[in-house]
Structure 1
Amino acid sequence: MSEGMLMDDRLASDRIATVAGATPFQLLFDFLRISGYQSRRHEPGVLDFTFGDPHDPPSEAYVEILRESLIPQHELWFAYNLGDAKAIEAATDSLRRHLDIPFETDDVHLTTGGFTAISTALKIVGDPGDEVVYSLPPWFLYEPLVLEAGLVPVKVSIDRETLDLDLEAIAAAITPRTRIVIVNSPNNPTGRIYPPATLERLATILDEASERNGRRIFLISDEAYNRIVFDGARFRSPVEFYPWSFLAYSYGKTLLSPGERIGYLALPPTMPGREVFRDAIEAAQIAGGWLFPNVSMQYALPRLETLAFDIPLFQRKRDVMVAALREIGYRVTVPEGTFYLFPESPLTDDAAFAQALDREGVLVLPGGMFETPGFFRISLTATMETIEASLPRFAAAFRAAGVPAAR
């Protein structure tokens, strides 16, 4: 039978078509492929505040660690490796130090970044049709990850005034099909760190709903920025308050190297029956296409753990930018962590305002890409020189929007 005579001539599966058609994916594809961003960002004089890519050269120490990890020490140096023991020990030790929770090495599973840690957790507890609740604004790839796992995304808004979780909205969104709730703290893009009182109430909601449904609801704690906190604050992990939790972490943020993929999925020691998940996690990683980091990154990890993120520098960037934007007239909350700002757009149409900034030679991400219209995101991975050069341009775009300046 010729191809033209086929009754069904679809080439891609319905599942992948659904993933690719997800609103966040479409907005991201449009931005990367249609908007001209890829060429625009390289034009002389254009200031790029879009993604969390590094704008300064990597440190010599970082490069040297990676270089040394590529030198073979024995014949099996580049063989299959489910998780290098020294790397897992280093990751576990850092978890214990940073969170003051006695994680065990058997419960820390190295992944190709936090991305696949989240994907793995979704698949080992979620069955097709199960619902996954998360708050808007989200990291914009939650929906594609949920759909790819055969699950159903259920979205609720945060409290737009406090930027805190709307616990009543989360409780109302839970149904008998709810299996997973995702929490991202410190939050990308708002920079909000959810306080212990909020996390305690969330744990109660999940416990009560699990009892009511006769089926355990799990929590995935996306903690890619848990070491990037400001003003001497202590980060409190959601896994501290709710035992049935998975912790997803990525080193790409603290090392400012998102293209070098390494992270982990960790189970807290309070997780009941967590032994069941150890083999399940590895099975999902293998079946998913070998979702373990390249061995060179695993060998490098113990030494990479010794490199510190420059908190004072990024806090200074935050303070300079927040103060200047507020003086211009922007409404912006001071982020408690991450390296992002999430100001309100002076125009109701945040995409139109992002275009106005583009005309001034400043590139940002509109809030619509985070399913939260009326805001825009600024990445502080830009250099301090870029930040200072941008301020007159942010002021010009604000004036062009026709909004009265701050007094």
Structure 2
Amino acid sequence: MNEKMVRLGQNRSEIRELFEYGKLLQEKGMDVCDLTLGNPTAKTPDWVTEVLSNGLKSKDVHAYTSAQGSFKARTVIANSLSKNGVDFSADSIVLTCGAAASLCGVFKTLVNSENDEIIALSPYFPEYKVFVEGCGARFKTVGFLGDGFTPDISALDKAITKNTRAIIINSPNNPSGKVYSKEEILDIANLLTQKSIEFNNPIYLVSDEPYREIVFDNTLLPFIPKLYKNTIICYSYSKSLSLAGERIGYIAIPTQIDEINDLYAGFLGSLRSYGYVCAPSLFQYMIENFREEYADFSLYENNTALLLEGLDKLGFVCNQPKGAFYLLVKAPNGNSKEFATRAKELGLLIVPADSFGASGWLRIATCVTKQTAENALILFEKLSRK
């Protein structure tokens, strides 16, 4: 028996535990204000429903495709990405069963020894640790500076060693909603360029981008491959099209990347070893007929603004998200787990952000109804008086 896998199954995601607890209470008819799971609630665009309906009438829609995905779908993605001023081709795209599968395939490709390391910038999605350790590597993290979650470049410099294979970045960020600026990305890129030369080995920047389209206040989102050639994009349509349960995404590498042929073969081999045969054929058909029309994200932005204003009036300290659909709230006493437990007693489910590398903070998912956001503020008001 693989004891590591047994432990992974036993030590479940704190987010999922709280989410399932809330569902259980709801089934019993109890009132729950659930702000745990990043489950998109914006309506899936009409064109997606139309294309999928047409696709179901297609002759080969349920048949296998090539392991890397249909050539037409990969070409659509490559052409779209290339509009950002960096060249991509169909043969630098691999369609996957979502960003999680993409990340697992990338990490397994880059890791060749139990001494190899993948470094995440805090705050980060907790499953990164599972993905990295699952392929036999060491998972390291680097902290941040201040309540704006500025990357600590000095700490990153010290953390990188000859065994470092990649840095992972997530922008817009889960759990903070931070969007890394062009200057911050360039600082990281310049450091990775220096370290790659020093250790005579490319250090890749893995850009996890499921929230790429969800930005607020006309915030500019830098296109990372334009700033660092050894960037690997892991993308999902889960958030942009509100298709979280359908599991469709891709790995994309620019044609200028180092070791492109070995990387691409490695992605296919890694996904093969995990038992992925091909991405869902129906959703490949959707990509083949893609329209640049995404879900309406105004609900997320409005909920974020509503919660920020309300929490500020109650005396809570929050960060200022520029994208995604999360925000972080400081636990008043510095103990996020204790505060989350008190909130849970009132029927308010929020996630301690310690496992995200943000000790003392709590993550709130804003992808809920306006009514849920308003109810949450009522419960936060009760907590503020305790």
User: TM-score if structure 2 supplies the norm length?
Assistant: 0.91
Match of 2:169 in 1: 183
1:226 equivalent among 189, 212, 225 = 212
Please say if residues 131 and 151 of structure 1, whose CA atoms lie closer than 8 Å, have aligned partners that are also in contact: yes
Tell me which structure has the larger Cα radius of gyration. Answer: 1
- Among 292, 317, 322, which residue is 1:331 paired with? 317
Q: CA deviation at 1:59?
A: 5.5
Segments of structure 2 that go 5 or more residues without pairing to the other structure are none
Which of 294, 302, 306 pairs up with 1:320? 306
- The verdict on how the C-alpha distance between 1:110 and 1:18 changes in structure 2, with shifts beyond 3 A counting, is same
Q: Residues 232 and 29 of structure 1: is their aligned pair in 2 closer, same or farther, counting only changes over 3 Å?
A: closer
Counterpart for residue 121 of structure 2: 135
Deviates more, 1:319-328 or 1:87-96: 87-96
2:107 equivalent to 1:109: no
Which residue does the alignment assign to 1:126? 111
Distance 1:41 1:127, change over 3 A: farther
Q: CA deviation at 1:128?
A: 2.1
The answer as to whether partners of 1:230 and 1:311 remain within 8 angstroms in 2 is no
Q: Deviations over 1:298-351 (max 9, x none)?
A: 112244544312133322222111111111111112101101111111232211
Change (3 A) 1:161 1:55: closer
Distance 2:339 2:88 in 1: 46
1:251-270 matches, within 5 Å, as 251-270=237-256
Aligned letter for 1:115? A
Paired with 2:15 and 2:62, the residues of 1 have a C-alpha distance of 38
- Residue identity in the other structure for 1:13: N
Matched residue type, 1:95:
L
CA 399–100 in structure 1, closer or farther in 2 if over 3 Å, else same: farther
**What TM-score, normalized to structure 1?**
0.87
Q: Helix, strand or coil for the counterpart of 1:286?
A: helix
Moved more, 180-189 or 46-55: 46-55
Aligned residue number for residue 134 of structure 2:
148
Q: How many residues align?
A: 383
Residues 371 and 20 of structure 1: CA distance in aligned 2, closer, same or farther (over 3 Å): farther
Matches within 5 A, 1:44-63: 44-55=30-41, 58=44, 61-63=47-49
SS in structure 2 opposite 1:254? coil
Q: How many Å separate the matches in 1 of 2:229 and 2:10? A: 35
Secondary structure at the residue paired with 1:276? helix
Shift in CA distance, 193/255, structure 1 to aligned 2, threshold 3 Å: same
Runs of 5+ in structure 1 lacking a partner?
A: 1-11, 401-407
Relative to structure 1, the CA distance from residue 197 to residue 168 in structure 2 (aligned partners, 3 Å threshold; closer, same or farther) is same
CA shift digits 1:343-373 (9 cap, x unpaired): 1112322112112222332211111232422
8 Å contact 1:139–1:370 — kept in the other structure?
Answer: yes
Change (3 A) 1:394 1:291: farther
What is the CA-CA distance between 1:167 and the residue it aligns to?
1.0
How big is each residue's C-alpha offset from its partner over 1:168-213, in whole Å with a ceiling of 9 and x where there is no partner? 1111111221111111111111111111111111112112222222
Question: Alpha carbon RMSD of aligned pairs, Å?
Answer: 2.3
Match for 1:178: what amino acid?
T
1:354 and 1:366 in contact (8 A); partners too: yes
The answer to whether the 8 A contact 2:35-2:365 is kept is yes
Residue 287 of structure 1 pairs with residue 273 of structure 2:
yes
Distance 1:342 1:305, change over 3 A: farther
**1:194-233 → structure 2 map (5 Å cutoff):** 194-233=180-219
Match status 1:65 vs 2:65? no
- Structure 1 residue 28: Cα displacement: 5.2
Q: Aligned equivalents of 1:368 and 1:169: distance in 2?
A: 19
